[in-house]
């Protein structure tokens, strides 16, 4: 995967209550020269926005506290247009529609296809750069 300069200089937030998945995604991103910061919940992630915006956020749909969709809706309602990729164990078409309507850049199912995830990150961040 070719990493754009602006993406390589930023960071990607990985928000998932499953520590093994968080670490696996973080390791994948590091292997592609991308910087990841991991969070175990939406509540742990939100305060990090004070210190700077991630280039992209990847979060699980089903977490304790706020769900991925609720987190996405919260971000959009508060003016954050961070590219967001939602991952889930269930391929529910209606849920996908709700997430896309809320502004998700991608909706991926587990088990994650790493090439698809990397492609979704590149596409989401490229689209965000083009809209600036």
Name the E strands within 43-122. Answer: 56-60, 84-88, 106-109
Question: What pLDDT does residue 9 have?
Answer: 60
- CA pair distance 23, 39, nearest whole angstrom: 10
Q: Which domain holds residue 62?
A: 5-130
d(CA 84, CA 107): 9
CA angle 33, 38, 43 (to 5 degrees): 150
In this prediction, residue 128 carries a pLDDT of 60
Q: How many degrees, rounded to 5, is the angle at CA 21 between CA 96 and CA 53? A: 70
What is the total count of domains within the chain? 1
Residue ranges of the chain with per-residue pLDDT less than 70: 1-9, 128-132
Which CATH number belongs to the domain containing residue 48 in this structure? 3.40.50.2300
The pTM for the full model equals 0.89
């Amino acid at each position: 995967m070719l990493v754009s300069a602006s993406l390589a200089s930023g960071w990607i937030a990985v928000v998932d209550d499953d520590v093994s998945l968080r670490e696996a995604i973080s390791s994948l991103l590091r292997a592609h020269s991308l910087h990841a910061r991991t969070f175990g919940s939406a509540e742990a992630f939100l305060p990090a926005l004070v210190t700077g915006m991630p280039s992209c956020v990847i979060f699980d749909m089903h977490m304790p506290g706020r769900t991925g969709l609720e987190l996405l809706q919260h971000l959009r309602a508060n003016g954050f247009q961070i590219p967001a990729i939602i991952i889930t164990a269930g391929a529910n078409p209606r849920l996908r529609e709700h997430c896309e309507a809320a502004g998700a850049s991608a909706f991926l199912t587990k088990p994650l296809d790493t090439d698809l995830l990397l492609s979704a990150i590149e596409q989401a961040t490229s689209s965000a750069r083009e809209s600036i």
